[in-house]
Amino acid sequence: MQELLTDRYEPDKIEPVIQQHWAENAVFKVSEDPSREKFYCLCMFPYPSGRLHMGHVRNYTIGDVISRYQRMLGKNVLQPMGWDAFGLPAENAAIENNVPPAEWTRSNIAYMRAQLERLGFAYDWDRELATCEPDYYQWEQWFFTQLYEKGLVYRDTAVVNWDPVDQTVLANEQVIDGCGWRSGAPVERREIPQWFLKITAYADELLDELERMDDWPEAVKTMQRNWIGRSEGLSIRFALTRGDGELEVFTTRPDTLYGATYMAVAPEHPLAAAAAQSNAEIAAFIEESRHQSTSEAVLEKMEKRGLPLGVSVDHPLTGEPLPVWVANFVLIGYGTGAVMSVPAHDQRDWEFARKHDLPIRQVITPADGSTVDIEAGASADYGILINSGARDGLDFKAAFDSIAGELEAAGRADRQVQYRLRDWLVSRQRYWGCPIPVLYDADGNVVPETDERLPITLPEDIVGEGVVSPLSTMSAFIDAPLPDGGRGRRETDTFDTFFESSWYFSRFCCPDANAMVDERVDYWMPVDIYIGGIEHAVLHLLYARFFHKAMRDVGLVKSDEPFKRLLTQGMVCKETYFRDGANGRKQYFNPGEVDVETDEKGRVTSARLRSDGTSVDIGPVEKMSKSKNNGVDPQALIDRYGADTVRLYTMFAAPPDQSLEWSDSAVEGAFRFLKSLWRMTSEHIAGGVPGPASMTALSPELKTLRRHIHETIVKVSDDISRRYKFNTAIAAVMEMVNHLGRMRGEDDASRAVRQEGLSAAVQLLGPIVPHFSAVLWTGLGHAEELTDSPWPQADENALEREEMDLVVQVNGRKRALIQVAANADKAACEAAAMIDENVLRFTAGKTIRKIVVVPGKLVNVVVAD
């Protein structure tokens, strides 16, 4: 390694050598060792889309910094990497390039693995897995049959987006403005039988456990809580005014029951269908609603429309007839597909009532005696009942109990706990996924696969034509013997890809196990820190938590939760440049093809396309994406500056949980810092590495410098271990290096302090720029390798201070900065403050009302004229 210590910093020379050294010595290969504390650091594994993007670089650098830091604390660190290899993009790429998804995926994996290796991440590559390989997915097929036996799997119908031209199911993403993305045909809703996992059976546990997950961000826990959406309410059965049917609805606000003025049912509701028999307008409305989106975001934003069905129900307390409407915003899949509408106390009901001239009756008034204007909008707040007969004056709880009691006694209602969470629909009508391991006999009965017949292997050398899943027409796959004899028909749907990503972290613990997992999983799990994008706050992270609990209940793992700590990463963004095209669509230009012009203050004034020299419009800063053409290819930067600079910049530009705006010139700054620290260190080493020196008789200047070095050790350790703020950790090291650089002394004491400072800087940066630090660390004369060197500890003696700064304010405005003894008490601080010239100037001739002293921080003198 010594020969790598050249005068100039040349990352392209050192990085491959260091990486080869790590690989040859299997430095990051780990095994279970019960005598050592383990640390399992995991980043969300990538979808192999083709090339690494900046989001990957950022995510995996964060994980690598934490892993290498934990290793230096002496822990047995597992950091694995794998591939979330099934998914829609492979099918699209297959059609575009006429190459089978399997081949496309595997070649992407090979390319991206090489890119990850080039970044120097400390992975145990022996544990690498790809979810598209049968030796991975066979175990989730097996697990599915286990869940089937436990009754946690069922088959039911569910609505999908159906493209009537391509005769295929579309993902929400493939529906653009209500039409299929390839065919352009208006999409229809279609109900088809599909497989579900009973995640709702775990709703309470998933919710309750959040209370104990102290190391998860509050925002994510709140989102999961709201997603699960546990609510206690009343299920009420309204009798039809004519005939003997009834209409069941669920409400969390039975206290507003006297304010119900109409009912609304989904277009698919039987009452709507019955009314459509004799009413062409209703029939047309129902037909039209067949083209409604399945996406909640689209549904909630569309125009709320409805029609009266011409039937009514009786109010269960007053007997008043309430008209029943069919409305496009009531969804058949939620609850009973019907709602009671209380326009005075629900904004959506209020708007609908206003539009259709339905009565609005206020039945709740604020408890504090204030008034609300129901004419201006609904009031959803809790309060005191009014216009509610004998129940006037009751509060929410009393009203709930009273109304629930009466209706329960009359057999018209039941108290119920409801969840917003729906069961997990795992069927996908796609080819590139894990086959669902079930068969159907001649009568259509479900026959699960038996263990010895697994895996049900996905046929691979298939390109597909872009419309229906090739599996669904492949008789060689479909036609299969039943386990008990006879011929059956295979399920051709595949699993949702969230299925694979719900348990890969457990498989990493024992990737070669001849079972789904083995006992090694209980050594490593739970994951100590899980790092990934905030966009996974609910779906992936909730499915994974559920799956782990289900595995626990099948006896596969012992832990209750898979991820002890969660670190959510922000997006990587970049400015956008565009021109308005002739067709009204924007044409985006990559920032790499654009030159920007600035004024004398560095403000951007205009931008030009380099190729034609004419101006382009400057758009907002947005998440790097193909559609905005604002991606910066990490590979080009790695080739130019080396892995360490890219790693350093990514960690320095923003804290991990914030979005990061990419700046090429700031990357240059990171490179500059490494070059300068390299030069400073190699010059110091060239002068001979000093031996251990006494640090007791230092000059005041060296003492201050040395205190700064040890304060930096404290600060960086805290930033990395507790705060996960790598940007301020790096800033602190830069500051310390700046101080070291200004110290010019070449005497023994100066050289000893410089040796200590440079060693600290190199070691503290080790997890972030591991190749750079490895060479300099050895050069500084340290015998052990950097990767296994113990994390530095601050010397308490070096941290001692004699004097410190004290801010003096007058009426909250800073008027002086004075020096006081570090141990000065309140009286001493106050006395020192009150003799300051500027303080006297601002207090002269005024009455001192109060003096606030915060020892160690400030003195605030409050005066009045």
Contact stretch for RNA (CB under 7 A) within 72-80, 425-433, 473-481, 517-525: 425-433
- Tell whether residue 294 is a contact of RNA (CB under 7 A): yes
Rounded Cα gap, residues 256 and 259, in angstroms: 5
Where do runs of H (alpha helix) occur along 277-346?
280-289, 296-301
CB contact set of 694 (below 8 Å; sequence gap of 6+): none
> Among 227, 382, 523, 578, which residue sits at the site for RNA (rule: CB under 7 A)?
227
Contact stretch for RNA (CB under 7 A) within 65-73, 252-260, 275-283, 667-675: 667-675
Rounded Cα gap, residues 856 and 438, in angstroms: 70
Q: Smallest distance, Å, CB 17 to RNA?
A: 24
- Tell whether residue 241 is a contact of RNA (CB under 7 A): no
Length in residues, the chain: 865
Beta strands in 426-501 (DSSP E): 427-428, 438-440, 446-448, 479-481, 487-490, 494-495
Contact stretch for RNA (CB under 7 A) within 35-43, 267-275, 547-555, 655-663: 655-663
Contact stretch for RNA (CB under 7 A) within 98-106, 252-260, 295-303, 698-706: 295-303
Strand partners, 306: 327
600-619 binders of RNA (CB under 7 A): 600-604
Whether a cis peptide bond, with omega within 30° of 0, leads into 48 is: no
DSSP SS3 for 172? helix
Tokens of 485: 């004899």
Rounded Cα gap, residues 321 and 240, in angstroms: 9
Nearest Cα to Cα of residue 14 among 734, 760, 682: 682
Tokens of 386: 């009014």
- Tell whether residue 348 is a contact of RNA (CB under 7 A): yes
Rounded Cα gap, residues 549 and 591, in angstroms: 46
CB 338 within 8 A of CB 240: no
Rounded Cα gap, residues 555 and 547, in angstroms: 12
Question: Could you give the maximum distance between any two Cα atoms of the chain, in Å?
Answer: 106
- C-alpha separations of 354 from 258, 346, 357, 581, 651 in Å: 18, 12, 5, 43, 54
- Between 85 and 399, CB nearer to RNA: 85
| H or E segment to which residue 157 belongs | strand 153-163
CB atoms < 10 A from the CB of 659, how many? 14
114-153 binders of RNA (CB under 7 A): none
What DSSP string runs through 543-557?
Answer: HHHHHHHHHHHTTS-
- Tell whether residue 355 is a contact of RNA (CB under 7 A): no
| Region class of 296: left (phi > 0), else alpha (psi between -120 and 50), else beta | alpha
- Between 584 and 602, CB nearer to RNA: 602
Scored b (16 or more CB within 10 A) or e, 250-267 reads: bbebbbbbbbbbbbbbbb
> Among 661, 711, 785, 830, which residue sits at the site for RNA (rule: CB under 7 A)?
661
Q: Smallest distance, Å, CB 534 to RNA?
A: 5
- Between 226 and 473, CB nearer to RNA: 226
> Among 290, 623, 640, 751, which residue sits at the site for RNA (rule: CB under 7 A)?
623
Contact stretch for RNA (CB under 7 A) within 223-231, 336-344, 473-481, 547-555: 223-231
778-817 binders of RNA (CB under 7 A): 805, 807, 809, 811-815, 817
370-399 binders of RNA (CB under 7 A): none
Q: Residue 244: what are its φ and ψ, rounded to 5°?
A: -120, 25
| H or E segment to which residue 712 belongs | helix 700-718
Strand partners, 415: 234
Where do runs of H (alpha helix) occur along 357-509?
396-409, 475-478, 504-507
Contact stretch for RNA (CB under 7 A) within 27-35, 167-175, 259-267, 316-324: 167-175
Contact stretch for RNA (CB under 7 A) within 22-30, 368-376, 688-696, 732-740: 732-740
Tokens of 552: 């626990």
Contact stretch for RNA (CB under 7 A) within 394-402, 610-618, 713-721, 827-835: 713-721
- Tell whether residue 194 is a contact of RNA (CB under 7 A): yes
- Tell whether residue 429 is a contact of RNA (CB under 7 A): yes
CB atoms < 10 A from the CB of 653, how many? 21
- Between 443 and 813, CB nearer to RNA: 813
DSSP SS3 for 149? helix
- Between 73 and 817, CB nearer to RNA: 817
- Tell whether residue 496 is a contact of RNA (CB under 7 A): yes
675-704 binders of RNA (CB under 7 A): 675-676
- Between 193 and 481, CB nearer to RNA: 193
Q: Smallest distance, Å, CB 535 to RNA?
A: 4
- Between 348 and 415, CB nearer to RNA: 348
519-548 binders of RNA (CB under 7 A): 533-540
- Tell whether residue 850 is a contact of RNA (CB under 7 A): yes
- Tell whether residue 425 is a contact of RNA (CB under 7 A): yes
Tokens of 777: 């660390």
- Between 174 and 492, CB nearer to RNA: 174
- Pairing type for strands 38-43 and 529-533 reads parallel
End-to-end CA distance of the chain: 71
Contact stretch for RNA (CB under 7 A) within 158-166, 252-260, 362-370, 769-777: 158-166
- Between 232 and 535, CB nearer to RNA: 535
Contact stretch for RNA (CB under 7 A) within 257-265, 681-689, 711-719, 765-773: 711-719
Q: Smallest distance, Å, CB 229 to RNA?
A: 7
DSSP SS3 for 835? coil
Binding mask 251-290 for RNA (x = CB under 7 A): ----------------------------------------
> Among 31, 699, 738, 823, which residue sits at the site for RNA (rule: CB under 7 A)?
738
> Among 300, 408, 683, 800, which residue sits at the site for RNA (rule: CB under 7 A)?
300
| H or E segment to which residue 620 belongs | strand 615-623
> Among 36, 355, 422, 487, which residue sits at the site for RNA (rule: CB under 7 A)?
422
- Between 585 and 850, CB nearer to RNA: 850
558-587 binders of RNA (CB under 7 A): 571
745-784 binders of RNA (CB under 7 A): none
Residue 141 carries which DSSP code? H
- Tell whether residue 461 is a contact of RNA (CB under 7 A): no
Binding mask 52-91 for RNA (x = CB under 7 A): --------------------------------x-xxxx--
- Tell whether residue 160 is a contact of RNA (CB under 7 A): yes
- Tell whether residue 215 is a contact of RNA (CB under 7 A): no
- Between 294 and 506, CB nearer to RNA: 294
- Tell whether residue 718 is a contact of RNA (CB under 7 A): yes
- Tell whether residue 418 is a contact of RNA (CB under 7 A): no
What DSSP string runs through 106-140?
Answer: HHHHHHHHHHHHHTT----GGG--BTTSHHHHHHH
What DSSP string runs through 751-781?
Answer: HHHHHHHHHHHHHHTTTTSHHHHHHHHHHTT
Q: Smallest distance, Å, CB 174 to RNA?
A: 7
Q: Smallest distance, Å, CB 221 to RNA?
A: 9
Tell me the site size for RNA, rule CB under 7 A: 111
Contact stretch for RNA (CB under 7 A) within 67-75, 119-127, 220-228, 367-375: 220-228
Q: Smallest distance, Å, CB 366 to RNA?
A: 14
- Tell whether residue 7 is a contact of RNA (CB under 7 A): no
Tokens of 527: 């994951």
Q: Residue 735: what are its φ and ψ, rounded to 5°?
A: -65, -45
